[in-house]
Amino acid sequence: MPELRKDPITRRWVIVATERAARPTDFPPGEPLPAHSASCPFCEGQESRTPPEITAVRRPGSLPNTPGWEVRVVPNKYPALRIEGSTASVHDGLFETMGGVGAHEVIIETPRHDLHPATLPPGQMATAAWMYRERYRDLDRDERFKYLLLFRNHGRSAGASLTHPHTQLIALPIVPKRATEELEGAQSYFAREGRCVYCDVLRQEVAARIRVVWENGEFISFAPFAAWCPFECWLVPKRHEAAFGSLTDAQIPALAEAMQQTLGRLYRCLSDPPYNYIIHTAPYDAKVGHFYHWHIEIIPRLSQVAGFEWGSGFYINTVPPEDAARYLREVVFPAPQGQPAPAD
């Protein structure tokens, strides 16, 4: 019998197919990455092919827009929004328009073309995560921005036009709908129960264990109870904090480890699937610290989303999250010693 499950935060219902559930081998493996691409604008040595860099982690003495960097941040060459302009609203009867003001940046996570969060050296992943936080904090100083959307598209069917490892950010003068829904859900739970709904979900997941994928002292990843697509995973800090920007230096290695473990297990289990992750965080300057809890949502792009799902907000998930978590817990990661890293 299929089940209907309700997300305790956003109150979205999903159908979870419990018969004929799909297994990892039911999904096509990802396309192999080329070892190197001379035409890639994100590769070391091609710095002049991107807009001038905003910031970078560099070897001492190396100059901006030249080789010698570890992580490099550049404006998106085809930005969805423009950095100049005002955010005044224009009303025309029922309709409200605002200038498309915002920042659209690319965080290039390694000079190497062929790596993946699963195969990056741990220090490199930590440097990338540190840079996410630095950009979060820097853009917080621009009063026009209300929200920072940090997201990663991996694989062509997940919307990545370049394969070189990178994450994007869009700083927005508005709060996107999904964030608003979460904030409203968490606020109404807090009003009722006096506690953070995410903290309560964590407590219940840790007690039940059946949906947990991996954890360390600071972070836990699990397949959410009402996962809306196969192998959806959430990565949540155990310490209650609303804003991603509150991530401390001491937490960064633990975050990098949890990301590598969770993404690495997906990579192994599903043969390098396309995926997106999105950092869900409090809006800038929002007084939501008591009830909201930042986290990362990882969405493998394994199946065609039918339009009715897209348009109705009603999803059918063919892999129960308990099964997905078990597959991900049981996979061998990292590679046993002596075995080459898979993308090398």
Instruction: Please answer whether residues 270 and 300 qualify as being in contact, where contact means their C-beta atoms are separated by less than 8 angstroms.
Output: yes
The verdict on whether residue 269 carries a ligand-binding annotation is no
**Number of CB atoms found within 10 A of residue 155's CB:** 18
- DSSP assignment of 7-27 equals -TTT--EEEE--SS---GGGS
φ, ψ of residue 312 to 5 degrees: the values are -100, -15
> Quick one: 134 or 181, whose CB is closer to a copy of itself?
181
Compute the distance between CA of residue 327 and CA of residue 214 in angstroms, rounded to an integer.
Answer: 12
How many chain residues interact with a copy of itself (CB under 8 A)?
A: 66
Q: Candidates 31-39, 171-179, 237-245, 329-337 — which segment interacts with a copy of itself by CB under 8 A?
A: 171-179
Task: Build a one-symbol-per-residue string for 49-88: x at contacts with a copy of itself by CB under 8 A, - elsewhere.
Answer: -------------------------------xxx--x---
State yes or no: residue 13 binds a copy of itself (CB under 8 A): yes
Q: CA 27, 31, 32: angle at the middle one, nearest 5?
A: 130
Shortest reach from residue 229's CB to a copy of itself, in Å: 9
Compute the distance between CA of residue 169 and CA of residue 22 in angstroms, rounded to an integer.
Answer: 33
- Provide the 3-class DSSP secondary structure of residue 120: coil
Task: Build a one-symbol-per-residue string for 262-291: x at contacts with a copy of itself by CB under 8 A, - elsewhere.
Answer: -------------xx-x-------------
**Residue in the structure block whose two tokens are 């005002």:** 86
φ, ψ of residue 320 to 5 degrees: the values are -55, 135
How far apart are the two ends of the chain, measured CA to CA in Å? 43
> Which residues from 129-158 bind a copy of itself, rule CB under 8 A?
149, 151, 153, 157-158
**Binds a copy of itself by CB under 8 A, chosen from 76, 181, 190, 329:** 181
Contact residues for a copy of itself, defined by CB under 8 A: 1-6, 8, 10-13, 15-17, 80-82, 85, 93-100, 149, 151, 153, 157-159, 168, 172-174, 176-181, 197, 200-201, 204, 225-226, 275-276, 278, 297, 299, 301, 304-314, 316
Q: Annotated binding site for Zn(2+): which residue ranges?
A: 40, 43, 113, 164
